Chain A
Amino acid sequence: QVQLVESGGGVVQPGGSLRLSCAASGFTFSSYGMHWVRQAPGKGLEWVAFIRYDGSNEYYADSVKGRFTISRDNSKNTLYLQMNSLRAEDTAVYYCAKVMGLSFDYWGQGTLVTVSS
């Protein structure tokens, strides 16, 4: 069965950096695009970034463009999100999600990132 397990969340100061990971299993990871989606406490879902199955293209929300980088290692079945210049408004649960067409069919359980001094 498909499993997505995020890790790497924690507390970081404003301006700091953090790298999230998403370990995938139960499907051919190298054949599917992947997303990061976040949810601030008590708020709705916000799409963050997408990477194609082979890592050839990346797309970002305006709110994170230039600060966040999505990447993947197909040999390790792992998706990453490098987050730099973090702001208080980046505080959220970050989910990785597998692509099905242009929707998100499987989601991880999420990892909490808190940006606070």
Chain B
Amino acid sequence: QSALTQPASVSGSPGQSITISCTGTSSDVGGYNYVSWYQQHPGKAPKLMIYDVSKRPSGVSNRFSASKSGNTASLTISGLRAEDEADYYCNSYTSSSTWVFGGGTKVTVL
């Protein structure tokens, strides 16, 4: 159950777009359309931002979008805002009937 691979940090200026990658294997990310993304502000509980690879829950801004190609999933934040500064985690269901998170990416708004 190795963690999915995410970049430790990504930064961008307000209004720009950034993309966070999440790389797994054919036993998790590549094998299922069950990748989700979570936003976590310091001291707070995680918040679901994307589920089933690219679906947005009600109430999540359409500035957040996501996709998957092979064993790599990606989260894009467009029109970057100060409030987007947070940690972001990807997650995938696995062939072992378990779930695995990525190591997390710290997004900094310059």
Find A103's partner among B45, B91, B97, B104 (CB 8 Å cutoff).
B91
Q: Mark A70-113, 1 if CB is under 8 A from B, else 0.
A: 00000000000000000000000001000011111111111000
Interface residues of A in 17-50 (CB under 8 A from B): 35, 37, 44-47, 50
The number of chain B residues with a CB under 8 A from chain A is: 26
Which of B13-21, B46-54, B69-77 contacts the other chain?
A: B46-54
Find B101's partner among A47, A50, A59, A60 (CB 8 Å cutoff).
A47
B30 on the A face (CB < 8 A): no
> Is B45 touching A45 in the complex (CB atoms < 8 A)?
no
B98 on the A face (CB < 8 A): yes
Find A62's partner among B1, B45, B91 (CB 8 Å cutoff).
B1
For chain A, the bracket of interface size reads 20 to 34
Bound-state CA distance A61–B99 (Å) is 8
Known: A50-B98, A102-B34, A104-B36. 5 other contacts (CB 8 A): A45-B46, A47-B91, A103-B91, A105-B51, A108-B45
Taking Cβ atoms with an 8 Å cutoff, the residues of B that contact A are: 1, 3, 32, 34, 36, 38, 40, 45-48, 51-52, 57, 87, 89, 91, 93, 97-104
Taking Cβ atoms with an 8 Å cutoff, the residues of A that contact B are: 35, 37, 44-47, 50, 59-63, 95, 100-110
